[in-house]
């Protein structure tokens, strides 16, 4: 190489000589020792950190690509890992690495900021699933790239997208993943753990996961106890928002969110053990387990589950306000219960602020003794 090309950058020539000496280069490339790999990797990084002009950068790219072609796999991998986190690496070098074996390409596919969306799309179209999965793990993915990855319908790629908590799934990617997850528990589980998953999707997926969980318990643990199966049916029903299975549903039509006998017995057992608390009830309600909450609230207040269900389903929250006041619950407890049980009153998720304020006003006006008399608790 003609070193006169670097006369205007005298600090580059020594670094290049250090790197490009053919005898040293070949020796290091074939030397499997960690010290040799570290020395050559440092030389590459030092060179790339130098301020280079466009012509110099092109020549350096030629040198580095030549080096990568000569190097053994473990050395190429070491260099790729170091270059993946640098943003001054020439694009030609990064693309060369990205098209190498997946063990070498993976770091730059996952981490390199040098790769543009067009570069990533080209790699997706020209490479296979292992490359898609690495790209799906990037902390910054555009909607376009994400949707193309989802359209592969490749299980491992969709699982990598679902497990990537650094990104927000696009509507299209989420829809594709949710459809595939209905027949894949390994995909459904990471989807269910995402913070950005809509409630409707979560409930639909939980129904499938719950069914597989039930089969797993029955087949692999040999548990056939009807109470255990009924409990799992109840949970699957609550999280799916669908009718309970024929095995656990009562003969007459089941009212939505009404607790089963098993749920009522579970709540009673919880109360008898001294573990039925407001905190426990609020956690259950927050998870969307309305039937379980009604069963617990029934035990907590001594009122029938039917009466609790009717009270929570009414837009007029006066009865709920009186019940909370009579049982020593706080105004904050009342507010949270009213807002989180909105689904019992309407399919709309927006709480009517006027109804809420009227409910809280009733709580403020009524005294505990008066509330207890209204509910017949002092008889």
211 and 276 together in one domain: no
Q: Are 270 and 300 spatial neighbours (Cβ–Cβ below 8 Å)?
A: no
46 and 101 together in one domain: yes
Q: What is the DSSP letter of 3?
A: G
Last residue of a domain, one of 190, 221, 254: 254
214 and 262 together in one domain: no
How buried is 221 (Cβ within 10 angstroms: 0-12 exposed, 13-18 middle, 19+ buried)? exposed
The secondary structure of the chain in percent helix, strand, coil, rounded to multiples of 5, reads 70, 0, 30
15 and 136 together in one domain: yes
R_g over Cα of the chain: 31
219 and 353 together in one domain: no
Token digits for 95?
């693309």
The distance of Cα 245 from the centroid of its chain, to the nearest Å, equals: 28
| Helical ranges in 222-367 per DSSP H | 226-240, 261-272, 278-286, 290-301, 305-313, 318-326, 331-340, 342-345, 353-365
The pLDDT of residue 1 is 44
Number of domains in the chain: 3
Q: How far apart are CA 112 and CA 115, in angstroms?
A: 6
Q: What is the DSSP letter of 307?
A: H
Residue 276 CB partners (closer than 8 Å, separation 6+)? 267, 270, 296, 299, 300
Q: Does some domain include residue 123?
A: yes
Q: Does some domain include residue 164?
A: no
- Residue listed under structure tokens 């008066």: 370
Q: Does some domain include residue 271?
A: yes
Q: Does some domain include residue 298?
A: yes
236 and 308 together in one domain: no
Q: Does some domain include residue 149?
A: no
135 and 184 together in one domain: no
pLDDT digits (tens, 9 = 90+) for 85-136: 888 888 988 999 999 999 999 999 999 999 999 999 999 999 999 999 999 9
Residues belonging to the chain: 379
Q: Does some domain include residue 148?
A: no
Query: Mean pLDDT in runs of 10 for the chain (379 residues)?
Result: 47 52 48 55 64 66 71 78 86 92 95 95 96 96 96 96 94 94 86 81 71 60 62 62 41 62 88 91 87 93 93 89 94 92 76 87 93 81
46 and 124 together in one domain: yes
The pLDDT of residue 120 is 97
The pLDDT of residue 262 is 81
Boundaries of domain holding 224: 175-254
Q: For 187, list phi and psi in degrees, rounded to 5.
A: -90, -35
Q: With residue 198 as reference, give the H or E element that holds it.
A: none
pTM of the model: 0.54
302 and 333 together in one domain: yes
Residue 325 has a CB neighbour count (10 Å cut-off) of: 25
Last residue of a domain, one of 254, 288, 322: 254
239 and 357 together in one domain: no
The pLDDT of residue 254 is 41
Last residue of a domain, one of 94, 125, 140: 140
Q: Does some domain include residue 91?
A: yes
Residue 300 has a CB neighbour count (10 Å cut-off) of: 21
Q: Are 124 and 131 spatial neighbours (Cβ–Cβ below 8 Å)?
A: yes
126 and 103 together in one domain: yes
303 and 364 together in one domain: yes
The distance of Cα 154 from the centroid of its chain, to the nearest Å, equals: 18
Q: Are 89 and 83 spatial neighbours (Cβ–Cβ below 8 Å)?
A: yes
Q: Are 54 and 90 spatial neighbours (Cβ–Cβ below 8 Å)?
A: no
Q: Does some domain include residue 189?
A: yes
Q: How far apart are CA 278 and CA 333, in angstroms?
A: 8
């Amino acid at each position: 190489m003609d070193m006169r090309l670097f006369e205007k950058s005298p600090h580059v020539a020594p670094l290049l000589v250090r790197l490009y000496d053919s005898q040293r280069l070949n020796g290091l490339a074939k030397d499997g020792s960690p010290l040799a790999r570290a020395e050559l990797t440092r030389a590459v990084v030092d060179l790339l950190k130098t301020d280079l002009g466009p012509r110099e950068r092109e020549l350096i790219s030629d040198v580095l690509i030549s080096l990568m072609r000569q190097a053994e796999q473990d050395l190429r991998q070491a260099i790729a890992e170091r270059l993946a986190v640098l943003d001054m690496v020439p694009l030609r070098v990064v693309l060369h690495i990205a098209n190498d074996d997946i063990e070498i390409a993976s770091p730059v596919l996952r981490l390199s900021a040098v790769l543009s969306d067009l570069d990533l799309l080209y790699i997706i179209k020209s490479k296979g699933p292992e490359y898609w999965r690495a790209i799906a793990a990037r902390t910054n993915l555009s909607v376009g790239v994400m949707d193309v990855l989802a359209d592969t319908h490749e299980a491992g790629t969709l699982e990598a997208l679902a497990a990537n908590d650094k990104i927000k799934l696009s509507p299209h990617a989420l829809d594709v993943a949710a459809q595939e997850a209905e027949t894949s528990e390994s995909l459904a589980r990471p989807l269910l753990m995402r913070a950005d998953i809509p409630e409707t999707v979560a409930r639909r997926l939980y129904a499938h996961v719950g069914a597989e969980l039930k089969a797993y318990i029955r087949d692999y643990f040999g548990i056939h106890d009807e109470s255990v199966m009924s409990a799992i049916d109840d949970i699957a029903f609550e999280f799916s928002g669908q009718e309970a299975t024929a095995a656990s549903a009562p003969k007459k039509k089941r009212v939505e969110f009404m607790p089963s006998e098993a749920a009522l017995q579970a709540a009673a057992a919880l109360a008898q053990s001294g573990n039925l608390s407001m905190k426990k009830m609020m956690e259950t309600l927050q998870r969307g387990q309305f039937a379980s909450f009604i069963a617990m609230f029934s035990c907590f207040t001594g009122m029938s589950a039917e009466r609790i269900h009717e009270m929570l389903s009414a837009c007029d929250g006066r009865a709920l306000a009186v019940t909370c006041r009579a049982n020593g619950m706080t105004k904050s407890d009342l507010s949270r219960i009213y807002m989180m049980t909105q689904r019992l009153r309407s399919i709309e998720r927006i709480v009517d602020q006027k109804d809420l304020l009227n409910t809280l006003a009733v709580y403020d006006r009524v005294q505990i003794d008066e509330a207890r008399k209204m509910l017949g608790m002092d008889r």
